[in-house]
A and B are shown apart, each in its own frame.
Chain A
Amino acid sequence: MCLAIPALVVSVTDKEKAIVDLDGVRKQISTTLTPEAGVGDYVIVHVGYAIGMLDPDEAQQTLQLFGELVAMSESAR
């Protein structure tokens, strides 16, 4: 329910802080809640904090699922 968006970690600064990039816009955020986040990971950012990681494989699967639905609905006609 809260405005949170996936952004790419481009650098990990000192302990518990990182810089994320969203299409060229960079912001420093806290990674205290996602200590495992590293450069190249996608995190979900909310009010200046990474609250969770985004799993690219799952994202792909979800998109594929949409694609299958497309195929299903087309064959159902």
Chain B
Amino acid sequence: MMLLEHHAKELLSQAGVRVPKGVLVTGAQDVRFEFPCMAKAQVPVGGRGKAGGILKINDASEVLQTIERILGLTIRSHPVRACRLEALVDEATEAYFSLAFDADSGTIRILIAAEGGVDIESPEMRAKLLQAAASPAMAPALAALETLLPSLAPALRGPMREVAARLIPLFFEKEAVLIEINPLFILPGGGWIVGDAKILTDDNALPRQPELRALIEEYPMLYPEAALKLAQGFDFVQLDHQGDIGLVTTGAGLSMQLVDEIIQRGHRPFNFCDIRTGGFKGDPSRLIQVLKWVSSGPNVRAILMNFFAGNTNLAELVPLILVALENVPELRQKITLRMTGNGLDAARKILAESGNPIHAESDLERAIDRVLADAQEWQYA
């Protein structure tokens, strides 16, 4: 999970890393803070500045309108649900520090540079990055950093060493996947402070990371996907509020592929979903939940349910689907149920005997055709 900047900075601050004073705002309200200050949209993607998500507030009279403006934005498909007001940082130079994995070699990679900023991804800037790999443990990582310092200007060595001494332990303690400080402001006189911070944590480690778990539980609206996964054990990502196709699907890869193919064919999937039939254990509540979500999409016109029963049994799944459908009476869209694999014949029989008008199809291509045709028809009905 990508932490929002505000929470990343709170984590850094607890670890003794200096960050500008800031406050999180989740609704349009008049906030008391020091002015002038910056207002920054809290979304888990870059490019906030260009999208108008980072604005300066000069005095108290501008607070409300600035926050309202930022909270009304959608940045790279992420609706802005929170904003951080942050104290200004005095004149400083920008450096760069990051810790990440090298997934291929299984090592930790430390990257530092005397220059940072928004252009860090450019080839010229990347060429200037100093990097070292280390075995995934604290001591080798700290030693690897030392090998890089002689290549830096003397004035930068102290700050980098201080930053590393705090971030490397944090990386292991919180089981981070990425910590990137960019820019790291180097102040005249040798001080330093974090400008922006990106921390990617490991959802799989949440069972043994109580603080990160508590953060998600406190802010389910800001981390909806992680909150769902934590509370209910499956994935659902709303992709397009205006989407016309709802998906009730299992398997991350197949669900992603279906989203891609529906877009290729000129439609807009409302969501991504990996419902994990293996976790049903005879209980239809997860199906009911997902059917309610997709049917409530304001523009959803047809629903595709897709189940490839490789290790499950369709004859056990279909009765659950029938119960789930009864429990979502508000559902008005046509549904195509694509199912294939173990127990198909028995499942078909159960469905036919139920008299439910849901359309069953065993071929995926025909199922997609049918759903898109239903969506089209709805448009002209």
Partners in one complex: no
Q: Which residues of B contact A (CB under 8 A)?
A: none
Residues on A lying within 8 angstroms of B by beta carbon are: none
